[in-house]
Chains A and B, each alone.
Chain A
Amino acid sequence: MGDKKKQKLQPNQQRYQAFQQKREIKRPIFKNCIKAFLIGGLICLIGQLISTFYIYQFNFTEKTAGNPTVATLIFITMLLTGFGIYDRIAQFAGAGSAVPVTGFGNAVISSAIEYRSEGFILGVGSNMLKLAGPVIVYGVFSAFIVAIIKTILTQWGGF
């Protein structure tokens, strides 16, 4: 893809892009990975603590504690997003705060807040899933594909 795109460029465009790239500030990928690992891990640790709390205080089992834990994490995310803190954490953490369920929550909540000025139906209603929608579409789609593969393998593969 990258090479194909480059071939379409004129020689002067290629020269300029190479010239520009040399002076571009690079993303600190290694540092970002470490930060994402630490913050992502921290969010998961908090999730585990909440989960353990539900199991020991409210008679949930390890299996059923998942739902209230996710709900609690999303509630905390809602507060952090509403008070304008989550995007600051995210600028530091990157994928660390985008990948866990809190990132999904933030995508929905921030859109809902932003489009409030356009009304509840065509504003909040139709834009709320603008960022999170693709996650749902391709999440369901890939689950479907994986389920078909699994069915084929278990039915006819003899596992």
Chain B
Amino acid sequence: MLKGHQSWIFENRPSILSTGTVGGPFEAKGKIPEAFDILHEDMWINQDSWEKAQQKMLEEAIQTTLKKGRIEKENVEFLIAGDLINQMTPTSFAASTSSIPFLGTFSACATSMESLALAASIINAKGANYILCAASSHNAATEKQFRYPTEYGGQKPPTSQWTVTGAGCALVAQNGNGPSITSATIGKVTDMGMTDPFNMGGAMAIAAADTIEAHFRDMQIDPSYYDLIITGDLGHVGREVSLDLLHDRNIPIDADKYVDCGIAIYREDQPVLAGGSGAACSAIVTYGHFLQEVMKGNLKRILVAATGSLHSTLSIQQKDPIPCIAHAVSIEARGEHI
């Protein structure tokens, strides 16, 4: 049901039945290794290209999710997923091997929450019984496409971010005992004329602030409603900018309750500069870490605002600004919603 300008309320309370997360060696050394169902020692994952490695991780995330949810893949109506690689081929190939009817989504690093919001919406309208939604990224594949060859020695500025290697998947169902998806806010694309692809956090911060503000306005609630407000991959720069923006707009978010997946995933001593990024970042940290906290009862209500910068290498070369987006999804422990 539409609420306000750009939000949905899911009155039938679709629930997240199970999740699956896969990570690479660098993520294994990070702050939350327990968030992963499968961790790989090798970036190649026995494949002969980075893109195939990404596809493999996505397939594993999907299989793990199905196994944990005890659902046969024949019973899943749709797969909604996307990634960052040109024309999303890793996702398409993974969709082809899983042979589940497939909807491709692209919101760069906000793909995870776009997929989850759409899945919840379809489930809520009884358009399906089970929907898988997933996002994946691979550090080397992304570096190759968006920046330089992996082994190229170019010094990165302290505002740049490290693309997460991994995949995250969630199974959304009509009913079940998992946490429920209660509402979602679809973001607008923002363009603040920022052109530096090595400072995506700074560019995306306004998108996060806009969507979070819109969510509170549409839902007529204030930040104290949530135990935690989680942003996708703003990193240190973007987190600070967006928090200050929200404070400037008189939205009193407690700094302790405002966390970022890009900061949560890696330890401070890992050479990630401003933090993690990539389509898998918000998917893994949300599904593998924060959702588990909700299931354990440590958190009751969370708002996840995944952020994405929608540029391409072509648009950057042609000196176009970076368009950014954020989508927010509210997840609540069963029985906690009003």
Footprint of B on A, CB under 8 Å? 8-10, 12-14, 16-17, 19-20, 23-28, 32, 81-82, 84, 86-87, 89-91, 93-95, 97-98, 103, 106-107, 109-111, 113-115, 117, 131
Indicate if the CB atoms of B150 and A16 lie closer than 8 Å: no
State the majority secondary structure of interface residues on A: helix
CA distance A16 to B195 in the complex (A): 13
B151 CB contact (under 8 Å) in A8, A14, A97, A106 = A106
* Interface status of B231 (Cβ within 8 A of chain A): no
**Is B193 an interface residue, CB under 8 A from the partner?**
yes
Tell me whether B149 and A113 are in contact (CB under 8 A).
Answer: yes
**Are A19 and B241 also in contact (CB < 8 A) when A27-B157, A117-B49 are?**
yes
CB of A131 within 8 A of CB of B202, answer no
Which chain B residues border A84 with CB–CB below 8 Å? 151
Q: How far is the CA of A117 from the CA of B237 in the complex (A)?
A: 35
Give the nearest-CB partner of A102 in chain B.
B153
A103 to B156, CA, bound (A): 15
A87 close to B237 (CB less than 8 A)? no
CA distance A10 to B321 in the complex (A): 13
The smallest C-beta distance from A5 to any residue of chain B, in angstroms, reads 8
Q: Are A107 and B152 in contact (CB under 8 A)?
A: yes
Interface size counted on chain B using CB atoms at 8 A? 34
B7 within 8 A of A: no
Cα A64 to Cα B31 with chains together (Å)? 54
Find chain A residues with CB under 8 A from B237 CB. 20, 23-25
Residue of A nearest to B49 (CB): A117
Tell me which residues across on chain B come within 8 A of A117, comparing CB atoms.
48-51
One digit per residue, 1 when the CB lies within 8 angstroms of any chain A CB and 0 when it does not, for chain B 167-205 equals: 000000000000000000000000111100001001101
Given A24-B202, A26-B158, A27-B158, is A13 in contact with B192 using a C-beta cutoff of 8 Å? yes
Task: List, in ascending order, chain A residues with CB within 8 A of B152's CB.
Answer: 87, 90, 106-107, 110-111, 114, 131
Cβ B192 vs Cβ A17 within 8 A: yes
Report if B294 contacts A (CB, 8 A).
no
Q: Known: A17-B194, A23-B241, A27-B158. Contact between A110 and B202, CB under 8 A? A: no
Q: Is the CB of B155 within 8 A of A114?
A: no
CB B13 to nearest CB in A, in angstroms, measures 37
List, sorted by A's number, 14 A–B pairs whose CB atoms are closer than 8 Å: A13-B193, A14-B193, A19-B245, A20-B194, A23-B241, A24-B159, A27-B157, A87-B150, A87-B154, A90-B152, A90-B154, A90-B155, A91-B156, A109-B151
Query: A24 with B199: in contact, given A13-B192, A110-B148, A110-B149 (CB under 8 Å)?
Result: yes
Contact of B158 with A25 in the complex, beta carbons under 8 Å: yes
Give B205's nearest chain A residue, CB to CB.
Answer: A20
B241 and A113: CB pair below 8 A?
no
What are the residues of chain B within 8 A of A16 when measuring CB–CB? Answer: 192-193, 206
